[in-house]
């Protein structure tokens, strides 16, 4: 049996944890630059606040109903996510937990007796909520896809199900599949859902009744066959190890307001390159390929949601590196090449790729020995910045004023990762 543990309205739950007066009150969390709504409490959903909708479209509704609004606080969310996942690892062992996303994890329960699944589901819920304060829903079934089905239904009826659902019989499984629209099945996108409806398939149960040949023909070959088998209760998606080494690293942000001067663009690109380089060193990697892109502001003011043109370029370095100063220089040269005077830009980003282990990077024989010791300098900067926070040491090219920084008008404190922002109890 497989379980999936899903945090309820995770970002909102994190904000409520240190603001108990917001319990059972409507809460929303906004995306970067306070642009769109990315998390809603159940109370906010009932008010009609749209998911992924622009904040300005819902602003009147939010203010009229006193909805608590927060800018994204990823330091807080990342730390609380780690606590939830670590709780599961303590309960079931690291090898039996697969972190699927920031707010979801699969747990392998094959070693648990079948007649204890309901008790285990409640134990997971109570333990995670007691240890972390984050409310969760739990779905348990023979396969990952069925566990997702169970979890979705447990979240739809939190009071009736107590936030848990166990599909431990064919009767329960069939009933759950009949309540699940085909578009809500994990792995079935909008286009496939519309295609399946033309064949009279409107629910997960309808799809489970189809033949193996149908699934393979109409659902993308092996991928569709795997999905069909999972709906039939046949394990086809194994537990996977957590990806610790990334093949690409990207850092990108929206600007607080459109910028049109080259200086601001260069400062942003240098800042994002520094952050990407720090992430690269954290996984002991070195990159040989660097890409830079900038996104222009729409010229047509009547099409508010039209995506501006993305302009990008890349270069291949002479040798792989993780040294910030060696990455900033080509990044700035690319940014200068992309910038067009007279245009306004709303976003920039940097991507590092062709990543190799830094242990395989050789020093340069044609440089003085002191030039090959930059790793010590980078380690020192990283250690100081980690201990002091807020990039206390940074390269001059990243700027000092940073007027282009994204808006975070409703940002909450970093309660769990900053000494000076600890929650005060009076």
Question: Taking residues 223-243, what's their average pLDDT?
Answer: 84
Domain boundary pick from 96, 120, 141:
141
Residue 309's nearest CA partner among 268, 266, 344 is 344
What is the C-alpha to C-alpha distance for residues 170 and 168, in angstroms, rounded to an integer?
7
Residue 366: the pLDDT is 62
The pLDDT tens digits of the residues spanning 386-418 come to: 776 667 788 888 887 777 777 788 888 888 888
Same domain, 261 and 132: no
What is the per-residue pLDDT for 87? 96
| Confidence check: pLDDT of 306 > 80 | no
Confidence of residue 137 (pLDDT cuts 50, 70, 90): very high
By mean pLDDT, which of 151-165, 344-358, 404-418 is the weakest? 404-418
pLDDT digits (tens, 9 = 90+) for 188-223: 888 888 999 999 999 999 999 999 888 888 888 888
Residue after which a domain boundary falls, among 93, 110, 141: 141
Are 270 and 136 within one domain? no
Total of domains in the chain: 2
Report how far residue 412's alpha carbon sits from residue 71's, in angstroms, rounded to the nearest whole number: 7
Q: Among 101, 120, 141, where does a domain finish?
A: 141
Is 225 among the domain residues?
no
**Measured CA angle at 419 (ends 402, 415), to 5 deg:** 80
In 3D space, the residue among 13, 236, 251, 255 whose CA is nearest the CA of residue 135 turns out to be: 13
Pick the range with the lowest mean pLDDT from 19-33, 89-103, 368-382: 368-382
- Average pLDDT of the residues in 378-393: 79
The answer to whether residues 69 and 410 touch, using CB atoms and an 8 Å cutoff, is: yes
Among residues 94, 65, 69, 67, the alpha carbon closest in space to that of 15 is found at 69
Task: Tell me, yes or no, whether 253 lies in a domain.
Answer: yes
Q: Looking at the structure, do residues 392 and 271 belong to the same domain, yes or no?
A: yes
Q: Give the model's confidence band at 43: pLDDT under 50 very low, under 70 low, under 90 confident, else very high.
A: very high
Residue ranges making up the domain that contains 90: 1-141
Question: Is there a domain that residue 215 lies in?
Answer: no
What CATH code is carried by the domain that includes residue 372? 3.30.1490.100
Confidence of residue 147 (pLDDT cuts 50, 70, 90): very high
352 domain-assigned: yes
Domain shared by 258 and 378, yes or no: yes
Same domain for 135 and 260?
Answer: no
User: Which segment of 82-86, 289-293, 317-321, 397-401 scores lowest on mean pLDDT?
Assistant: 397-401
For residue 6, is pLDDT > 60?
yes
At what angle are helices 144-156 and 222-231 packed, to 10 degrees? 60
Residues 253 and 115 grouped into a single domain:
no
Does position 51 have pLDDT exceeding 80, yes or no? yes
224, HSE (Cβ side, Cα atoms, 13 Å): 17
Is the confidence at residue 301, as pLDDT, over 60? no
Other residues' Cβ atoms within 10 Å of the Cβ of residue 265? 22
DSSP label of 142 = S
Mean pLDDT (whole number) for 140-163: 89
- Give the residue-averaged pLDDT of 39-65: 90
Copy the structure tokens of residue 161: 């199900």
**Least confident stretch, 159-173, 311-325, 343-357, 368-382:** 368-382
* CB 417, CB 76: distance < 8 Å: yes
Give 307's pLDDT tier (boundaries 50, 70, 90). Answer: low
* Mean pLDDT of all residues in 163-167: 93
421 part of a folded domain = no
User: What are 81-133's pLDDT values in tens digits?
Assistant: 999 999 999 999 999 999 999 999 999 999 999 899 999 999 999 999 999 99
Residue 376 maps to a domain:
yes
User: What CA–CA distance (Å, rounded) separates 257 from 265?
Assistant: 12
Same domain, 383 and 253: yes
Say what the pLDDT of residue 189 is: 85
In a domain, 149, yes or no: no
Residue 48 lies in a domain: yes
Segment 273-293 shows an average pLDDT of: 92
pLDDT for 303 beyond 80: no
Q: What is this structure's pTM?
A: 0.79
- Higher pLDDT: 260 or 256? It is 260
337 vs 324: CA distance, rounded Å: 20
CATH code, 16: 3.30.70.270
The pLDDT mean for the chain works out to 87
% of the chain with per-residue pLDDT over 90: 52
Residue 368 above 70 pLDDT?
no
């Amino acid at each position: 049996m497989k379980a999936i543990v899903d945090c309820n309205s995770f970002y909102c739950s994190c904000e409520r944890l240190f603001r108990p007066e917001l319990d059972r009150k409507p809460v929303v969390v906004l995306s970067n630059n306070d642009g769109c709504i990315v998390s809603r409490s159940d109370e906010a959903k009932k008010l009609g606040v749209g998911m992924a909708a622009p904040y300005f479209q819902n602003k009147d509704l939010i203010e009229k109903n006193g909805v608590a609004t927060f800018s994204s606080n990823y330091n807080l969310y990342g730390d609380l996510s780690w606590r939830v996942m670590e709780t599961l690892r303590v309960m079931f062992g690291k090898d039996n937990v697969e972190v699927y996303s920031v707010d979801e994890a699969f747990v392998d329960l094959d070693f648990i007796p079948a007649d204890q699944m309901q008790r285990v589901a409640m134990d997971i819920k109570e333990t995670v909520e007691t240890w972390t304060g984050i409310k969760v829903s739990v779905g348990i079934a023979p396969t990952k896809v069925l566990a997702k089905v169970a979890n979705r239904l447990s979240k739809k009826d939190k009071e009736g199900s107590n936030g848990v659902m166990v599909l431990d019989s064919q009767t329960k499984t069939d009933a759950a599949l009949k309540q699940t629209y085909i578009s809500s099945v994990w792995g079935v996108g909008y286009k496939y859902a519309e295609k399946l409806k033309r064949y009279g398939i409107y629910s997960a149960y309808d799809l489970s009744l189809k033949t193996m040949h149908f699934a393979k023909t109409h659902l993308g070959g092996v991928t569709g066959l795997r999905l069909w088998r999972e709906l039939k209760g046949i394990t086809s998606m194994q537990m996977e190890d957590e990806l610790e080494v990334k093949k690409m690293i990207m850092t990108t942000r929206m600007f607080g307001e459109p910028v049109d001067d080259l200086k601001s663009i260069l400062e942003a690109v240098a800042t994002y390159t520094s952050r990407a380089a720090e992430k690269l060193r954290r996984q002991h990697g070195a990159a040989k390929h660097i890409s830079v892109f900038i996104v222009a502001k729409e010229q047509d003011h009547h099409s508010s949601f039209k995506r501006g043109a993305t302009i990008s370029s890349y270069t291949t370095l002479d040798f792989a590196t993780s040294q910030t100063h060696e990455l900033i220089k080509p990044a700035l040269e690319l940014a200068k090449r992309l910038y067009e005077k007279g245009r306004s830009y709303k976003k920039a980003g940097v991507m590092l790729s062709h990543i190799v282990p830094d242990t395989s990077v050789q020093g340069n024989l044609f440089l003085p020995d002191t030039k090959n010791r930059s790793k010590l300098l980078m380690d020192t900067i990283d250690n100081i910045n980690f201990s002091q926070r807020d990039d206390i040491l940074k390269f001059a090219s990243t700027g000092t004023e940073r007027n282009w920084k994204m808006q975070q008008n409703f940002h909450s404190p970093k309660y769990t990762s900053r000494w000076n922002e600890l929650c005060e109890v009076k």
